[in-house]
Amino acid sequence: MAVQTQPSDAVQEHGKQHQEQLHVGVLALQGAFEEHANLLRSLGAKVTEVRLPGDFAGLDAIVLPGGESTAMALIGERWGVFPQLREWVATGRPVWGTCAGMILLSNEALMQKEGGQALVGGLDVEICRNYFGSQISSFEQPIDTTLLGLTKEECAGTDVEKPYPAVFIRAPAILSVAGEGVSILAKVRALPCSKARLALEASLNAPAASPERSAKRQRLEPYLTPSEELPEVIVAAKKDNILVTAFHPELTADKRWHAYFLKMVREAQTKT
């Protein structure tokens, strides 16, 4: 006669984790998608590289990586991925954009290439592409992540008490938030690079006086007016199921932003 035994705690826990495994898609048209995939897998997620419309099947969330936003937009439109991404965002499903991905998820972007570029949209913010400068102006800056509310256990051992080492490479910045419900998660103080400054000045000097133009001038002038204190720009924000970061969390061993996104995804599932 076979002896029936209860599963051990370890087996029960493994089964629980397997049932709760999240399936995250990473847009893999261009950019640092492999690095995102590796960090997500290290936190227990299943990852699919998204290149075609059929790759969206079964996903719980999507990450738009850093890279070249114009190239991603051109390929994404041509391969039919961007229309599906817009539908994904419009229906309130979890999405995270880093650097170029943050640009793509914005409703308005300054310093676009000639003729503009396709945006996925969804976050009612005004973004300046390459606010901090070119590739040679890349830098790392510690930022406070207290607002994420994470524990060391949730981040696979990452010391969440230490400042986060944010890596900025040709990074954008959020200059203003237009819509309601946008939570600001991190800011830094920095002047716009010379090209960004010229773009901001051109935006302010455009003709056609209107209440909207006056409001825009009021928003953008602090980034151009000399003062004792550097202007503050937003480098991480969240609204509902949209998360954006101007820096590259995939280029560090620190897992707290990936853990935060997965926590967002789980919370979204409990609400459905």
258 is catalytic: no
DSSP letter string over the chain? -PPP-PPPHHHHHHHHHHHT--EEEEE-SSSSHHHHHHHHHHTT-EEEEE-SGGGGTT-SEEEE-SS-HHHHHHHHHHTTHHHHHHHHHHTT--EEEETHHHHHTEEEEESPPTT-------EEEEEETTTT-SGGG-EEEEE--GGG---TTTTTT--TTSPEEEEESS--EEEEE-STTPEEEEEEE-PPPHHHHHHHHHHHH-S---HHHHHHHHHHGGGTS--SSPPEEEEEEEETTEEEESS-GGGSS--HHHHHHHHHHHHHHHH-
248 is catalytic: yes
Question: Annotated catalytic residue: which of 155, 193, 250, 258?
Answer: 250
Contact by Cβ (8 Å): 22, 61: yes
Task: Report the candidate in 234, 120, 242, 232 with the shortest Cα–Cα distance to residue 181.
Answer: 242
CA angle 148, 154, 156 (to 5 degrees): 120
Please give the backbone phi and psi of residue 211, each rounded to the nearest 5 degrees, phi first.
Answer: -55, -35
Question: Annotated catalytic residue: which of 154, 193, 248, 258?
Answer: 248
Question: Annotated catalytic residue: which of 35, 99, 128, 258?
Answer: 99
Please identify every residue annotated as catalytic: 99, 248, 250
